[in-house]
Chains A and B, each alone.
Chain A
Amino acid sequence: MNYEDLIPADEICVRYKVERQFVSSLYESGIIQIVRIKETEYIPNDHLADFERMMRLHRELDINLAGLEAVNHLLKKIDQLNEDNMRLRNRLGLYE
């Protein structure tokens, strides 16, 4: 993974005004990934959208960590179902 694909976790905390613990909790719940390079922790760029989504849900809807885990799980499931749906539609097109 390139350095330009990583954002220091501390910088994210400052920018989004969140506590470091929140980032760690999301990592421990498996919602985001953290990469450690020489004592510094980074969040990969492609996990930023997941982080932002969870932050909004936590702040705007007061959803606690357990709730975020459940929401994340269900959203991933929706994504998977949408993908399956798209694949099946494309396959169906073969016989139409």
Chain B
Amino acid sequence: MEFIDYYKLLELDRTATKADIKKAYRRLARKYHPDLNPNDKQAQTRFQQINEAHEVLSDPEKRKKYDEYGKDWQHADQFEQARKQQSAAGGFGGGFGDGGQSYSYSGNFDDDTFSDFFEQMFGGRARSRGAHRGAHFKGQDFNAELQLKLSEVYESKKHTLTVNGKNIRLTIPAGVENGQTIKIKGHGGPGMQGGPKGDLYITFRILNDTTFRREKENLYSTVAISLSTAALGGEIEVSTFDAKAKLKVKPGTQNGTKVKLKGKGFPRYKKEGQFGDLFVTYTVKVPENLTGRQRELFEELKKTGI
């Protein structure tokens, strides 16, 4: 366990006054507050460290202990022992009923928000004097990432996720996009001092396991057609996402021609029964190895000026 220099964290020297500490905390908290730095884990960690530093340095009793034993935190227990013996001898009631810890506490904070160093020095239940601990606070929001295949989000499906050891069953609506985040209410961290639970935010990573390219609800594909079909027209069969469709190719179709198959694209997110379009691009295949007969026919065509 490493020693944490709380003064350094708050960019203060050891002679800092209470007002200096408050000012430094406010300045840094404004910079690193999680609400001002959404999805920034580094800022969140820094904010927790700043909070912890403020928790200790703004409390005269904790600051005194930290100043005295900070670097030699291992001796803090001996310090506590001596204190207990002293209070037992002096007859001051002592202890607040938690295995001999000498600090009062209130609230129901997530222990993970304070460092091991803090826990060791001040105990896990020694947090009562923060600047903003009075109200009910919503618990921490959790962020998770879920990887799905494109073919898995073509239809709304039920999935079971395990978040922090708990199984959550949820229906993922068809048409969810890569990078999209959805909120699952009440599946985040526990609230503080009776506040509501936080929310769970799931960000989707959609891996394309198909030959289609997707942009929102539209799909794109490329289909090869023969030179004769392109020139004379005809009927071809193309794959849609979940079936096959017959297409009429117009005579004289050029390479790169795009056709739209209305409603054959991807489902629109949260619009049941509505689909985007499928855009098919034709690539005209030029024959490479002609038979003798084909060559003859092409020679004939050439004479006609084609």
Contacts and interface: CB of A to CB of B under 8 A. Distances in A.
B29 A61 contact: yes
A92 to B, nearest CB: 10
Contacts of A93: 178, 208, 213
Contacts, number: 55
Given A57-B35, A71-B36, A86-B180, A17 B136 contact: yes
B135 interface: yes
Interface string B1-41: 00000000000000000000000001001100101101000
Contact of A52 (B30, B38, B138, B216): B138
A78 B220 CA distance: 30
B36 A59 contact: no
Interface string A44-58: 000001001100110
A93 B215 CA distance: 9
Dominant SS at the B interface? loop
Interface in A12-30: 15-17
B134 interface: yes
Contacts of A71: 36
Nearest to A96: B213
Given A61-B26, A90-B215, A94-B213, A17 B135 contact: yes
Interface of A: 15-17, 49, 52-53, 56-57, 59-63, 71, 75, 78-79, 86-87, 89-91, 93-94
B132 interface: yes
Interface string B166-201: 000000000001111001000000000000000100
A62 B26 contact: yes
Nearest to A60: B132
B35 A56 contact: yes
A86 B178 CA distance: 8
Interface of B: 26, 29-30, 33, 35-36, 38, 131-132, 134-138, 177-180, 183, 199, 208, 213-216, 220
Dominant SS at the A interface? helix
Given A62-B26, A86-B178, A94-B220, A15 B36 contact: no
A59 B135 contact: yes
Contacts of A86: 177-180
A94 to B, nearest CB: 5
A51 B3 CA distance: 38
Given A49-B183, A86-B180, A90-B178, 18 more contacts: A15-B136, A17-B135, A56-B35, A57-B35, A59-B135, A60-B132, A61-B30, A61-B33, A63-B30, A75-B36, A86-B177, A89-B178, A93-B178, A93-B208, A94-B213, A94-B214, A94-B215, A94-B220
Contact of B38 (A61, A78, A87, A89): A78
A19 B213 CA distance: 52
B171 to A, nearest CB: 19
Contacts of B134: 17
Nearest to B208: A93
13 contacts: A16-B136, A56-B33, A59-B132, A60-B132, A61-B29, A61-B33, A63-B30, A75-B38, A78-B38, A86-B178, A90-B215, A93-B213, A94-B214
Contacts of B208: 93
A57 B215 CA distance: 37
A89 B137 CA distance: 36
Nearest to B36: A71
Contacts of B220: 94
A86 B136 CA distance: 35
Among all A-B residue pairs, the 8 with the closest Cβ atoms: A86-B179, A94-B213, A53-B35, A17-B135, A60-B132, A61-B30, A90-B178, A59-B132
